[in-house]
Structures are given as C-alpha cells and as structure tokens.
Homo-oligomer: A and B are copies of this chain.
Amino acid sequence: MKQAARSGCPINLTLEMLGDRWSLIVIRDLMFGNRRHYRELLKRSEEGIASNILADRLKRLEAAGLVSRRDDRSHKQKAIYSLTEGSIALVPLLAHMGGWGVRHTTASRELSVRAEILEEGGPPLWAAFMEELRHLHLGAPAPRESVFSRLQAAYEAAMAAPRE
C-alpha cells in the first residue's frame, strides 16, 4: 500500500488500491452478505478464504480507507467492520462485474440471481442500495425500501429451489 504507484492511470490506481481479488471478495461479503465480524467473514466464505489472507486484506482495506473497524459494543471481544463512502461507491462497479460474470463465466444459478436483479435495476437501484448501505454501515437514516432484503430474499428463494 505504501509503495509508490506504478502510474497515475485511474484504472491502474484502482487496481493497486484494491490490491488483489481477495480484497474485492471481502468487500463483496461486507456489502451483499452484511458480514461484519471477522469470524463471519471467515466461516461463511463461499471461496474458503484463509484466515491470514482475510486478516491481511482487512488491514490493507482499512489502511486504504475502504473499510473501517470499531469495537462492537454488544460483544466486548469483537470488532465490527464497516464499508466507507469509498467502498460503497464501488456498487456500480461490482454490479457490472456480476453482470459480466453471469454472461461470460459458468456462474451458478443461485449465486447469479442477485447480480441479475442489480444489473436489471440499473443506476436507480444502485443508488437505492448505496443509500441503504450508508444506513447499515455509516449510520445514515434508513431508506423506505430495502434493496438488501429484496436481494437476500431472491437469493434465499434460489437456494431453496430444487436443483434442475
């Protein structure tokens, strides 16, 4: 994180700031899974992230200002991780990444339903989801409608549906 940037190109700097793919996987789990504790991020990882990689990426993301960490008042031993304005602004990028993945990779049906809803919803839905993330992560007022619940319900319905 502290080494000099390889170029001033905004695409390069974005990739340098995100570090590697595990960083975006951690942001994805904070964002779409609302996994806010280290143990949840570790134990519920679909990709089986290793504990040392998770710890390192959380530190890097915190140093880059994309994740914030504070003590959880309800659990003395636990820290709670939150997204920041910077990482909440990644919603459109992740929406595009999910949409591309649905079309160009062998993504599973259950794990594609949220990506499809987000892509179809386009910029208005992304803005509503970002507003909700500001509520969940930054303490902003709750929006009237929950995009998170809608995505979650679609995901759970797909998980519960019989396999084809």
Contacts and interface: CB of A to CB of B under 8 A. Distances in A.
A138 interface: no
Interface stretch (A19-27, A34-42, A141-149): A19-27
Interface string A1-41: 00001111111111111101100110010000000000000
Interface stretch (A54-62, A75-83, A109-117, A129-137): A109-117
B105 A10 contact: yes
Contact of A24 (B11, B92, B98, B103): B11
Interface in A79-102: 86, 89-90, 92-94, 96-102
A48 B6 contact: yes
Nearest to A99: B10
Given A13-B106, A47-B12, A93 B86 contact: no
A107 interface: yes
Contacts of A112: 8, 10
Nearest to A104: B86
A108 B16 contact: no
A25 to B, nearest CB: 6
A108 B11 contact: no
